[in-house]
Amino acid sequence: MNTTDTTDTTSTTARGAALREGFIRTYGSAPEGIWRAPGRVNLMGEHTDYNLGFVLPFAIDKNALVAVRRRTANEASPRLLEFASTYGGTTGPLPVTGIELDALAPGNVPGWAAYPAAVAYVLGQLPGVQLSGFELLVDSDVPVGSGLSSSHAIEVGTIVALNDLFGLELDATAMARLTQRAENGFVGAPTGIMDQSASLMSRAEHALFLDCRSLASHTVPLPLAAQDTAVLVIDTRVEHSHVDGGYAARRASCEQAAVALGVESLREITEVALLDRLEPELRRRARHIVTENQRVLDTVKALEASDLREVGRLLRASHVSMRDDYEISCPELDLAVQASLAAGAIGARMTGGGFGGSAIALIAVERIPAASASIRRAFAQAGYAEPSIFTVNAAEGAGRA
Ligand code: GLA
């Protein structure tokens, strides 16, 4: 399968043109530009980011497009922010959420608009940064609640737009840190730094290896096309959220384990034997992190050796670890993995934060139609909602569309 996806480019261009028209209809004048920020799939390294460990995600060919126009000093409300999206469809007038820049406070912007608002809030707090009001319109084809980082795509699309328009000269690492701060402090989700980094720093046809302690990163070629293999996403449609308890509880367990072990973060532990003195539940949580970090390093090696069988083995081991030790899977995700493997996938695992969302399967392209049918059958037999199944290609990180 060719990862330079011309359909994606075409559809992004067509969506961009529609977005421009929608912007003019909504706000009465044209945007100053349109920026694109992709969602992501994580190949390996789940919940390791906030433990300052390793992750290996890639940006996907599904993205948020963000159109923006700054307000000028002589307009009626120069410091008014307005947010609209095509989430509710594009026919008819798009609903607009408005708030004064100086009124922004954590928790006071409802719904999806909290994401761009959060970015304006953190940028506005930077010393020396003078924002004005602006109008913003989002269109995204990253499925919401699927674990493919639809919310981070909006945040990243917003920060790259504002970075350009206000001449902030922030580099990708600074933008990753700021969007994480936006997510943690304004939206209220205690998430790590992986998703923003993937959206900002990825390269087409590569995965992104990121050390979440130093934020040093490098890209790793994905030898998929050469081996007629693809990454299939099985979106279980079980909606997850990181503002709810499960994610925060796992994070708290890791912090507790680190304190008990006398280390700053679980990243510092590389031997499973060192976890013996933890009580059983904490030991299992920490064991997932320690073994998952190693699996990221091993996956990089396997990719460099073009050994997709080994990548598949690591994916399977990662899923077992998340299911049994970290306990963040759910019956639908387990079935997606099991049915993919039964249909001949080389490997499969849930991806993202868990408790719902998507699984990924590494699979020969020729097997995809039959595998998709049998995964759907398995879901129907179990009485689950029909999953959404599609392939993803490794796409370029965020930028001007
Ligand atoms: C979510 C968070 C990330 C990361 C993953 C789990 O996607 O946003 O920071 O913790 O879950 O790996």
Distance (Å, whole) CA 267 – CA 56: 15
Residues with CB under 6 A from ligand 1: 42, 46-47, 49-50, 191-192, 194-195, 242, 352-353
Contact 126, 166 (CB under 8 A): no
Residue nearest to atom 2 of ligand 1 (CA): 191
Does 19 have pLDDT greater than 50?
Answer: yes
| Six-digit token string for 128 | 């020396």
Q: Would you call 356 helix, strand, or coil by DSSP?
A: coil
Q: How many residues are there in the chain?
A: 401
Catalytic residue among 8, 195, 235, 325: 195
Distance (Å, whole) CA 161 – CA 149: 18
Q: Would you call 125 helix, strand, or coil by DSSP?
A: coil
Ligand 1: which of 215, 242, 251, 267 to mutate, most ligand atoms within 8 Å of CB? 242
Q: Tell me, in angstroms, the distance from the centre of ligand 1 to residue 43's CA.
A: 12
- Residue 2: the pLDDT is 39
Task: Count CA within 13 A, CB hemisphere, residue 348.
Answer: 26
Task: Read off the pLDDT of each residue in 323-349 and give the average, rounded to a whole number.
Answer: 98
User: What are the helix (H) ranges across 225-305?
Assistant: 245-261, 280-304
Domain with CATH 3.30.230.10 in the chain: 12-220
Class of domain 221-392: alpha beta
* Percent of the chain with pLDDT strictly greater than 70: 97
pTM of the model: 0.96
Does 141 have pLDDT greater than 50?
Answer: yes
Contact 40, 396 (CB under 8 A): no
pLDDT in tens, 278-335: 999 999 999 999 999 999 999 999 999 999 999 999 999 999 999 999 999 999 999 9
Place of tokens 């959220």: 241
Q: Is 195 a catalytic residue?
A: yes
**Residues pairing with 392 in the sheet:** 231
**Looking at domain 12-220, which CATH architecture does it have?**
2-Layer Sandwich (3.30)
Q: Tell me, in angstroms, the distance from the centre of ligand 1 to residue 148's CA.
A: 10
- Residue 6: the pLDDT is 54
Q: Tell me, in angstroms, the distance from the centre of ligand 1 to residue 295's CA.
A: 17
Atom index in ligand 1 nearest the CA of residue 42 equals: 12
Q: Which value, to the nearest 10 degrees, does the dihedral of the CA atoms of residues 51, 52, 53, 58 take?
A: 100
- 38 φ/ψ sector (left φ>0, alpha ψ -120 to 50, else beta): beta
The CA-based angle 181-182-183, given to 5 degrees, is: 90
- Strand segments, DSSP code E, in 176-289 are 206-211, 217-221, 229-235
pLDDT in tens, 25-48: 999 999 999 999 999 999 999 999
Distance (Å, whole) CA 377 – CA 10: 32
- Which range, of 5-14, 377-386, 388-397, averages the lowest pLDDT? 5-14
Domain with CATH 3.30.70.890 in the chain: 221-392
Contact 156, 134 (CB under 8 A): no
Ligand 1: which of 40, 43, 46, 49 to mutate, most ligand atoms within 8 Å of CB? 49
